[in-house]
Every structure is written in C-alpha cells, then in structure tokens.
A = this chain, B = another copy of it.
Amino acid sequence: METISEQACFGGVQGFYRHASEACGGPMRFAVYQPPQAANGPRPVLYFLAGLTCTEETATIKAGAQRLAAELGLMLVMPDTSPRGTGIEGATGDWEFGEGAGFYVDATQAPWSARFRMHRYVVDELPALLAANFPIDPTRSGICGHSMGGHGALTIALKHPQRYRSVSAFAPIVAPSQVPWGQKALPRYLGDRPEAWAAYDACELVRQQTFPGTILIDQGEADRFLTEQLRPELFDQACAEAGQSLQLRRHAGYDHSYYFIASFMDDHLRHHARALG
C-alpha cells in the first residue's frame, strides 16, 4: 500500500492511498479519514460508496463528513467506484457503464470479469487491507452510499449482515433489475440472466434475508432520477412485505447532489455511530 497524501483535518488525518488489488486486477485508490481518537486505538469504520462518475475523492471533498466523524470517533473509508485504466474496449466513454460505474458487482462476463469485481473488493479485499494498515475495529463496520453507491451499500449489507452492523443510503438505486441503469449494466456484467441480477437487487435480497437493524434512507423529492431510476417506493414495499425495519425519509426540494448529501450527512453518521458503539 502506498500513501498518496495525508493531510490534517479536524484533528485527524485525511489520507489517499493506492494499492495493487487482486479483486480488480490492477491498482485501486481509496480515501481514509482517521479521527483524532484513532491515535489511541482501533475505531469503528464507516464505508461510503459513491455513485456513477465519482471517485474516492468525491465524497471526501463534498460530503462534509469529517467534522462529525472526528467528534464521534468514526473512521471513514471511501473507495473508488470501479477499477481504472482497464484498457478494456467500451470501459470508458459511457458514464453509466464501465469505469466509474462498477455497480458493486462481481462481473461474470468477459471481458469485465477480469477487473470489475467491486463486490468482493469492498466486502473482502479492502477491509483486510485496512485491518493490516489502519487502527480499525472490523467487528464494528457500517456501510453507506449514494445512488449507485446506495445500491452497493444496501446489497452488500443485505448479503452480508454478519459483517455490517448498520446500513444507510442517500437516493439509492433499490431495484436495478427494474430500472434503466441496472437493465443496461447488469446484463453486461452478469449475463442475460435475471436470476443473476437478483443477487444484486436490494428489493429482491430483502425478501430473502432481512438486515438486523433499521435501514435509513434519505431521498430528495426534486431528484431528477427519482421516478425512473431510484423508485424508493419499491424498496419501501419490499421491506414492508419482508418485515424489514426501514426509515425512508423524503425531503421536499432536495436534488441528487452532494448539497443534499451534506445536508443530511450528520444524521447518517449518528445512525451508524449508534449501532457501532
């Protein structure tokens, strides 16, 4: 693991790092915020997964999460949203697919399957790397995300409830099998098999296994992707049918941007801090 930069921030350290990823078959970058308390021992960790077109820098710069993380003693981990520089034809040039649009799946279809394995990267490889290099307490992990990253957070928590004590999302894609973003990306990554897509579809997953804790979701009502791509009502219904505790908050006037995320970030950090102790 190589340190790209480390900067003082709210009494802690905001760092950017690079490492050779086995899961993604090449170099990956990620950001870690260490709160001041990390100097004294392992801290709980909150993963934040960003959305389409974003990198490890986006939420680090725009979400304003470090201030309260410093107060609560939370480590913040912000991975990139896909492998980069893959050289695969068709991997760049389309903001909805490929680089910057990994959708937090393990691709099974060539040529994507060699590099686009963001699910195992986030769930297995990155936590192991962090445990070896940072003062984290991996038994106290939470996961959050925005849009495509909200989809990532929900599906990862629902698939691995033993690994995460808390989950939340901002404007998540909740039913990729039913909306254009997912219907475009999932067949290319996973093949033309709806049963494979279901393994990465929060609405499908929650019907199989609920998460032991309340899921917090914030959604802006002025979000231009609300009715076509996000459709939180589908997850609301799936959770109700599955008996999953869900706090879905709709906010008049808010859009899909980081001005929306920043506005409610404190609530998400407190949601996770309560569960992570």
A→B interface (CB under 8 Å):
7-11, 14, 61-62, 64, 66-67, 220, 222, 251, 253-255, 257-260, 262-263, 266
Contacts and interface: CB of A to CB of B under 8 A. Distances in A.
Contacts of A255: 7-8
A262 B64 contact: yes
B62 A259 contact: no
A253 B8 contact: yes
A222 B61 contact: no
A10 B9 CA distance: 22
Query: How many monomers of this protein are in the complex?
Result: 2
A interface, by DSSP: helix, strand, loop or mixed? mixed
Contacts of A251: 8
A11 B252 CA distance: 10
A170 B8 CA distance: 15
Nearest to A220: B8
Contacts of A62: 61-62
A257 B10 CA distance: 12
Contacts of A7: 254-255, 257, 259-260
B64 A260 contact: no
Contacts of A258: 61
A260 B8 contact: yes
A11 B67 contact: no
Contacts of A254: 7-8
A250 to B, nearest CB: 13
A66 B7 CA distance: 22
A17 to B, nearest CB: 16
Contact of A259 (B14, B260, B263): B14
B262 A8 contact: no
A172 to B, nearest CB: 19
A5 to B, nearest CB: 9
A202 B66 CA distance: 33
B259 A9 contact: yes
A152 to B, nearest CB: 23
Given A7-B254, A64-B67, 15 more contacts: A7-B257, A8-B220, A8-B251, A8-B253, A8-B254, A8-B260, A8-B263, A9-B259, A9-B260, A9-B263, A14-B259, A61-B62, A66-B259, A66-B262, A67-B263
B11 A263 contact: yes
Across the A-B interface, give the 7 residue pairs with the lowest CB-CB distance, nearest first.
A9-B259, A8-B253, A64-B64, A8-B254, A7-B259, A10-B263, A14-B259
Nearest to A33: B259
